[in-house]
Amino acid sequence: MRSSAMDKTIVVEVRDRVMHPGYKKYITRRRRFMAHDETNRCEVGDVVRIVSSRPLSRRKTWRLLELVERPS
């Protein structure tokens, strides 16, 4: 998870390593999703699982399914 500054909203970052078609080197691509966290239990650095849901706001169309791992 990337950010938890908003109330009941988290920003989840998904990183993928893909090979560049021209340079044949691996690059890191990232996507960021805004997800609904009803209980505000997530913190920065947590590994979470999100699922698609109905639109909750302009950019928030995901919700938190479970907290997979909390860093020690």
Q: Count how many domains the chain has.
A: 1
**Given this model, what pLDDT does residue 2 score?**
79
**Is residue 51 a part of any domain in this protein?**
yes
| pLDDT tens digit sequence for 24-51 | 999 999 999 999 999 999 999 999 999 9
Region 13-26 average pLDDT: 97
| pLDDT tens digit sequence for 50-60 | 999 999 999 99
Give the percent of the chain with pLDDT over 90.
Answer: 90
Alpha-carbon gap, residue 36 to 51, rounded angstroms: 10
Domain that holds residue 62: 9-69
List the CATH number of the domain containing 20.
Answer: 2.40.50.140
Alpha-carbon gap, residue 72 to 58, rounded angstroms: 34
Q: Tokens 């947590």 map to which residue?
A: 46
**Given this model, what pLDDT does residue 1 score?**
75
Instruction: Please report, as a single letter, which amino acid is at residue 49.
Output: R
